[in-house]
Chains A and B, each alone.
Chain A
Amino acid sequence: VPAAPPPPLGCDDPEAEAAAEAAVNYINGQSHHGYKFTVNRVKDIRVVPQGPNNAIMFVDLELLETKCPILSPTPLENCTVRSFAEHAVEGDCDVKLQKVDGVFSVLASKCHSHEDSREDVRKVCPDCPLLAKMNNTEVLETVSAALNDYNSKTTDPYLRLLEIGRAQIQYHPGHVVVVEFAVGATNCSAEEAKANVQACQLLPEDQSNFGFCKAVMVKRPSQDLQVDCQLYGHQVPCFPGYSSLGITLSQDTS
């Protein structure tokens, strides 16, 4: 009598969770934009045995955006999931993996991401600011002002904008623009950049040459700009005299 086929793998089985972890690590490793994603749930999984200790797995994943920029050295397990009220981005991925002798390797992946429904965010938090377009004039002005402000107050290498991660504009009770953007260190000091910014080239693509900034521009009732930059792997001197410039230090990781 032939043996009964093994029961289908459940989406919460340890093997499914291990496959999901391998898949999301691969997806984050392949991405160079935005923020790291984490698994919210395994929606479906299918296993096609290929032989002893060899199987192909098809995994359907629901992903959530974290607050860790994709270039951040922070391990995914330490990244905070961005709340729904912050108008986050969600993702869906179909991943094909091969498991040989217990080791997963991703053969193919296809992902779609989109921001959460604006109407649903409004239901949860009527006053929360929603995501703004990256090419919004106010967003671009705030990023430019924030980067200039930072560069004017540091003796570190001159930083250049890599990409805007997200932006929100609030109109009530005050007019506030909040932006987050990735930066790269250049081979110039701020003084050298003043003389000829075109000559400043990004340093080699090493994680320690990247950083991430958050800026809050209050436009009404009174104008104010706060900038907070974290440079991965750089020891940044503090400037206690500059109340509007917050600098946090990050740990080197290998």
Chain B
Amino acid sequence: SVTKRAVAKATQHDKVPRPVGFAPPPPPPCPGKIRHFDI
């Protein structure tokens, strides 16, 4: 018989660490940041 096995949810600590020296992805080029408030 096949039974469903419980799987623990992934936590923040389980994520694969970014290699040292690897630059974070650049922000999307556009649209730019909101300078005052969102309308």
Residues of A within 8 A of B (CB): 7-13, 16, 38-45, 62, 64, 81, 84, 90, 116
Contacts of B37 in A (CB 8 A): 40, 64, 81, 84
A142 smallest CB distance to B (angstroms): 29
List the B residue with the shortest CB-CB distance to A45: B30
**Residue-by-residue, is B1-39 near A (CB-CB < 8 Å gives 1, otherwise 0)?**
000000000000000000000000011011111111101
Contacts of A64 in B (CB 8 A): 36-37, 39
Contacts of B35 in A (CB 8 A): 38-41
Residues of B within 8 A of A (CB): 26-27, 29-37, 39
Do A40 and B29 touch across chains, with their CB atoms under 8 A apart? no
**A41-B32 contact in complex given A62-B39, A84-B39, C-beta closer than 8 Å:** yes
Q: Is the interface of B mostly helix, strand, loop or mixed?
A: loop
Q: Is the interface of A mostly helix, strand, loop or mixed?
A: strand
Do B36 and A40 touch across chains, with their CB atoms under 8 A apart? yes
Interface centre among A40, A42, A81, A116 (most CB of B within 10 A): A40
Do B27 and A10 touch across chains, with their CB atoms under 8 A apart? yes
List the B residue with the shortest CB-CB distance to A9: B29
Do B29 and A41 touch across chains, with their CB atoms under 8 A apart? no
Do B32 and A12 touch across chains, with their CB atoms under 8 A apart? yes
Do A11 and B30 touch across chains, with their CB atoms under 8 A apart? yes
17 A-B pairs besides A11-B32, A42-B32, A81-B36 with CB distance below 8 A are: A7-B29, A10-B26, A10-B27, A10-B30, A10-B32, A11-B33, A12-B33, A13-B29, A40-B34, A41-B32, A41-B34, A41-B35, A42-B31, A43-B30, A43-B32, A44-B30, A44-B31
